[in-house]
């Protein structure tokens, strides 16, 4: 297992939900954290080991700025957790593609830009880690929300691309694919909230993946809160 001592983890969308749970869990473990937030004042943890930086998935230049701020503060980057994302309804037959474009910008281009900017530092680490929070919607399609599924399938593909190009340099990437999670995003879902996966449980999985050595990489983590026929 890798020690967390001195290791720096960037986490996007850490102000609430899954991202906040991951930030709290990794902070308790002793990692140094760089949190990418639209509102840095909303950071769920604080202290000498925490940097709260302004970052927006919809602003292309902010990824490089966040990475630069992280390196300036800590001198290194060992892991990136791409958690920020949005879910809006876009059906296959919808001709107005603005919703699809917005999800593509945030869910796919957002993590792509952060990974691209952080890649040289992850290579230098020798044990760089990337965890992309995707979804079971990135593995199958169960409803008419084609746009969301398309973006999450792309996130899974992005993860495997990182594994391919970074493997020889010690970079390991994992696509975390949960179903319903008890967050604001699922507040209107018909599925019972008390049967949804808790953000804290996903945070435990992320902590475990980050600590695994290069010889025990997990490419995908499919997390079920109900029976999935095709998984």
Residues with catalytic annotation? Answer: 148
Enumerate residues 6+ apart whose C-beta is below 8 A from 22.
Answer: 11, 14, 81, 83, 199, 202, 203, 206, 207
> Whole-angstrom Cα distance, residue 54 to residue 34?
10
For 200, the token pair is 């804290």
Q: At what angle do helices 146-166 and 110-125 cross, to 10 degrees?
A: 20
Which one, of 11, 4, 51, 49, lies nearest residue 199 by Cα?
A: 11
> Whole-angstrom Cα distance, residue 71 to residue 201?
29
> Whole-angstrom Cα distance, residue 216 to residue 218?
7
> Whole-angstrom Cα distance, residue 115 to residue 129?
10
The CB density around residue 160, as the number of other CB atoms within 10 Å, is 13
């Amino acid at each position: 297992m890798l020690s967390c001592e001195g290791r720096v983890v960037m986490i996007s969308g850490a102000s609430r939900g899954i991202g906040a749970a991951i930030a709290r869990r990794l902070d308790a473990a002793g990692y140094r954290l760089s949190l990418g937030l639209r509102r840095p004042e909303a950071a769920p943890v604080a202290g000498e080991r925490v940097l709260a930086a302004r970052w927006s998935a919809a602003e292309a230049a902010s990824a490089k700025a966040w990475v630069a701020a992280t390196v300036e503060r800590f001198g290194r980057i060992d892991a990136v957790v791409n958690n920020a994302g949005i879910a809006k309804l876009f059906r296959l037959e919808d001709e107005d593609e603005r919703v699809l474009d917005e999800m593509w910008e945030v869910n796919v281009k957002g993590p792509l830009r952060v990974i691209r900017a952080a890649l040289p530092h992850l290579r230098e680490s020798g044990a760089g880690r990337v965890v992309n929070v995707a979804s079971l919607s990135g593995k199958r399609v169960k409803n008419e929300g084609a746009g969301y599924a398309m973006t999450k399938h792309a996130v899974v593909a992005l993860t495997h691309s990182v594994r391919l190009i970074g493997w020889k340099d010690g970079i390991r990437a994992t696509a975390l694919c949960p179903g319903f999670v008890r967050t604001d995003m699922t507040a209107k879902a018909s599925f019972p909230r008390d049967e949804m996966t808790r953000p804290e449980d996903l945070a435990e999985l992320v902590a475990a993946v980050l600590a695994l050595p290069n010889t025990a990489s997990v490419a995908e983590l499919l997390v079920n809160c109900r029976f999935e026929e095709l998984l």
